[in-house]
Amino acid sequence: MVTVSEAQIAHACRVTVDLANIVIEPGGAVGLAAALQDHRHLDRGGPVVAVAGGGNVDLAALAKITEIGESAHG
């Protein structure tokens, strides 16, 4: 089991916006946050899938989430 902080979840949301132009809500970014945070447990030879969903985020909340994600990871 991998645990993630709210800052790591916010960072995952930020990554999806910045790299894929996809908006996901924090609850839908938990799996991605775990993969980004502790990727040592992933099988390096196989595919990795993280289900990310939920675009039900208003713009003010998205701005705050991405700001937290940016400050948490530089």
pTM score of the predicted model:
0.78
Report how many helices (DSSP H) and strands (DSSP E) the chain contains, helices first: 3, 0
Residue 46 clears pLDDT 80, i.e. is over it: no
> pLDDT value at position 61?
84
Residue type for 13, please?
C
- Does the residue 40 lie in any domain? yes
- How many folded domains does the chain comprise? 1
- Does the residue 54 lie in any domain? yes
Three-state DSSP state, 40: helix
- Does the residue 1 lie in any domain? no
pLDDT grade, residue 74 (50/70/90)? low
Reported as type and span, the H/E element at residue 15 is helix 6-20
- Does the residue 45 lie in any domain? yes
pLDDT grade, residue 33 (50/70/90)? very high
Distance CA 32, CA 58 (A): 21
CB of 26 closer than 8 Å to CB of 65? yes
The angle formed by the CA atoms of residues 17, 20 and 26, to the nearest 5 degrees, is 40
- Does the residue 61 lie in any domain? yes
Mean pLDDT of 43-61: 79
Q: Which two tokens stand for residue 59?
A: 């713009």
Q: 59 is in which domain, residue-wise?
A: 6-72
> pLDDT value at position 54?
80
Least confident of 17-21, 39-43, 57-61: 39-43
